[in-house]
Every structure is written in structure tokens, then in C-alpha cells.
A and B are shown apart, each in its own frame.
Chain A
Amino acid sequence: MPSNVDTDLYGLLEELGGQLYLDAQIDIPPDVRAGLKAAMERESSQVARGIVNTMLRAIDISDRKHALVCQDTGIPIFWVTIGNGFEIDGVQLVAALTRGIERVTRDHPLRSSIVDPITRENRQTSTGEGIPVIHVEFSKDIDHLDLLMMPKGSGSESMSFLAMLTPADGLAGVKKFVLDIAVGAQGKPCPPTIVGVGIGGSSDLCTTLAKKATLRPVGERHSDPKIAALELELLEAINATGIGPMGLGGDTTALDVHIETAWTHITLNPVAVNMQCWRGERRRAKISRDGSYVIGY
């Protein structure tokens, strides 16, 4: 299907898909850097300050050398938001983004972290059945195409949990679940983490909301004041545990807590937690209908 975009849209998506995957692993978002610097000033423990300082050094070295910050290239995940009146062929979109990931993996080269779950075969392309993960959403508030990419490393992705709580468990049950997960995870997700929490929906929507929540910039609050207050309450609670950077003790276990919600069934009270490691990797392109684009975070 031809698109109403004045360019080779699918060629551009292939190009950008690969580029965003690579650049997200090299250039850490400014809000994450600011969060780490704030942690550096807040930490009372010398060991914790030393750890955060090494994290900031890693970011700096990667800036200078244009090198990957971490060796884990992760699972490539795209969040595509199609704006009002932006016409696009979904089949070609998926094919273009997949080709982009394959090409940058071969050309850079990048470690392919993707295997068949049964045979453990690795095609060395960073792709496979269902990978890259591509979430597609629609927005009436924009008229461009928003392409957001996150490479998701396994250390933090391993710390993903869902609980189908009951209405009787209430919001208190939700808070307890999030806190208990943070305590149980200790140093495994490479803290200080960005903690994403999904509340409500069906089980699949709930876990998707939790992951999406990790993508909101550090320090940015939910637009709903009561959810924003809950985010700050949980952030304070998680940091009060003293787990600290890399789980070796300190005042900063999470850089932020972000919550996304959806309405749910009368009998359900679902909550999901997804964590992003201290690098908070993400990269975005806003593609306009005239084929121009802007790169950001």
C-alpha cells in the first residue's frame, strides 16, 4: 500500500530502526544522567558514591568513544504511535524495522542476544519469531509517526512480575507487591533502576503498561495528581530499603517509579512490575508526513 508520506517511508524506517537500536546503547538520555548525578549528591555511603561515579564514567567513555555502555544488546523493543491521518502499511512497517535491526547487527557488528526458546538457536541477527517486539498504538493528538526504541537487557528484564490481586487486597496490596519485588530483586536488575508499575487492565495489558512506564523520563510525573503522588510514595519507600546501587547498600535503589494504569474487571486488581537498569536506554524518532524527522529520547 502506498503511504501518504512524501518519501521512501519504509526505507527510512529501516534506516532509523537500526540506528535507534544502536544509538540507544551508546547515548544515555539526559534525564537518566541527571538522575544519576542527583543520586551522587544524595548518597551518604562512600561505596555507593563510588559505584554511581563508575556509572557516570561509563556514560562519559561511551560519549567519547561512541562505544556501547553495556555488552548486553538486549531484546529490541519498538513502541510505534501512529498519528492522526498518517497512513502506513503495518506489514511493511514490521518488515522494515526488522530489516533495520538485522542490518545494524551485521554491520556494526552487535552481539545478537536473541535465541529460539526451545532449541536456543541464535541466527546472529538480533531478530527471530516475534522479535523485534513491536507495540503499535494510535493517537489523535499527533499527526506524525512516533518511533520509540528500547533495547531491554536481561538483568533487569528478569525482574518482571505480575500479580492478579483481588479487590479486597486494595491499593495497599498493590503497594506491598511493588515494595516486596524491589526488596527481593536486590542487586540483580543493576540498580538504581527505573521501576515501571502497571495497575489494572487484563494480565497482558498490565505487564505492557509496566514496561511502558519505564520509558517515561526520570523525574517526570504522571498527569493524574493522585497517581503522581503514589509514584513519589513508592519511590520514597523503595529507597528507604537501603538496597542501594548494585545492591551493595545506599540511599538510591530506584531513580524513579512510574505508574501507568488502565481500567479493569470488577473482580480483578492486577499489578505488574517491570524494571529498567540504571542506563534507562531509549531513543526516539518523530517522523513527519513530509519525510523529515527529529531524533530525541
Chain B
Amino acid sequence: MEYRFTPPLSEADVRGLRAGDTVVLDGTIWGIRDATQIRMFDRGVAAPVDLHGTALLHVAPNVRKTETGYEPLVIGTTTSMRMDRFTEGLLRDYGVRAIIGKGGLSDVSSAAFATYGGVYLAIVGGAASVETEQVEAIENVYWEDLMPECLWQFRVKNFGPLIVAMDATGASTYRDVGATARSRLDAIYEKLGVTRG
């Protein structure tokens, strides 16, 4: 199924999504990264904005400072797994509904998506030129001292396609694909003349 949302997202919105669905977002999404979440969770500094119902992007921004703010040069997505341990806190403490990233998150995060009602949306990694075209503006920047790992407010249009890779039923495409690959290994080994060790 294909869905289009303009956040804020409700719990019902995300609980209706299934792994394999496609999502396109319009409106506001928020960019976060390692340092942003280290401050929020390890240093215990509350985020300066209300993140209930938001979609967060594991972002790798390359921006230029202008007189009025920041202009996006290249906005890409970074590997999510480095920030895996912050997922539960984002959902439980901040009411975040969607995390957009690449490469996927662990089964611990998968369980958190099921408990609190959230989804992981996979973006096509490395295709930053597509992503940059879909970011209309950088509307606000908080915690500028963490540059470029600030808390970014982006206005986006047709942001995606994003693939629901971990859903609120606890399903994970990464887990399924990994299990399928491992289940095929014996046959592949045999063809290669490899003895399983």
C-alpha cells in the first residue's frame, strides 16, 4: 500500500502501516544525529521543542549559512544503527512516531516500535541528490553549537519514497531478509562446494 502523510502522525496512522508499505511525507520533519541524542539522553537535556507525532530523520546535512538562516547544500541520510539505543527514549519520552534512516535498527528497537506505536521508514541510502530536492527549506535550527549535529526542522515536499521496514506489529524487513538469506546458505554452500563449519 502507498500512503501520504503530513505530520503530526497519530498512533492510529502508524499502527495502520505494514512492513513493505510505501510512505511519502509532506510538511515538517526533524533531523537528528548522534550528538543531538547524546545530549537529550546521556546528558539529560530536554529537547527544546515538542516532538509528539513527529517523523525524525537520521540526517547528514551539508548546509550554507545565510543572512537569515541556513540553506541546504546536500541533505543525506546516515546509518541508523549507530543511534539504535536512543529509539525507545524517543518513542516513550518524546512521543515520536516515525524514524527515517538507512540500514535499519535492532530487534530491541523493533520491540519498542510495537510497544509505543512507531515505525522505521527506510530511505534509499546514498541518493542524497534526490533527498535534497525534496527539502524545501530549513525552517529552524536548535542547538546550533552541535553543528552539524543540531536539531533541524525541515520543510519537505514529496519526501520519499520511504519504505516501511519496521512496523508497529513488531515486524522487521531486515530480520526477515536476514533469516531468508541464512536459510538459503546451505544450498548456496553446497553449490560452491563449501562444507558448513
Contacts and interface: CB of A to CB of B under 8 A. Distances in A.
A61 B129 CA distance: 6
| A55, A234, A249 interface centre (most CB from chain B within 10 Å) | A249
A69 B129 contact: yes
A247 interface: yes
Contacts of B38: none
Interface residues of A, number: 48
Interface stretch (B4-12, B42-50, B106-114, B188-196): B188-196
Contacts of A245: 124
Contact of A249 (B126, B177, B185): B177
Interface in A208-258: 233-234, 237, 240-249
Nearest to B76: A71
A214 B190 CA distance: 27
B188 A240 contact: yes
A172 B192 CA distance: 7
12 contacts: A58-B129, A61-B129, A179-B194, A183-B181, A186-B174, A187-B177, A190-B126, A234-B192, A241-B184, A245-B124, A246-B122, A277-B126
A69 B60 CA distance: 13
Interface in A64-107: 65, 67-72
Contact of A70 (B61, B128, B181, B192): B128
B161 A246 contact: no
B128 A71 contact: yes
Interface in B16-64: 20, 22, 60-62
A202 interface: no
- Across the A-B interface, give the 3 residue pairs with the lowest CB-CB distance, nearest first: A71-B76, A58-B127, A241-B181
Contact of A57 (B127, B177, B193): B127
| B62, B76, B130, B163 interface centre (most CB from chain A within 10 Å) | B130
Contacts of B194: 172-173, 175-176, 179
Contacts of B173: 248-249
Interface of A: 47, 50-51, 54-55, 57-59, 61-62, 65, 67-72, 111, 153-155, 158, 172-173, 175-176, 179, 183, 186-188, 190, 233-234, 237, 240-249, 277-279
B75 interface: yes
Interface of B: 20, 22, 60-62, 74-76, 79, 81, 102-104, 122, 124-130, 132-133, 161, 163, 165, 173-174, 176-178, 180-182, 184-185, 187-189, 191-195, 197
A55 B103 CA distance: 15
B65 to A, nearest CB: 11
B178 A186 contact: yes
Contacts of B163: 47, 50-51, 248
Contact of B130 (A57, A72, A183): A57
A190 B101 CA distance: 12
B22 A70 contact: no
A151 B122 CA distance: 24
A111 B62 CA distance: 7
Contacts of A241: 180-181, 184-185, 188
Contacts of A187: 102-104, 122, 125, 174, 177
A109 to B, nearest CB: 8
A242 B126 contact: no
A246 B102 contact: yes
B70 to A, nearest CB: 14
A136 B20 CA distance: 47
Contacts of B74: 67-68, 70-71, 111
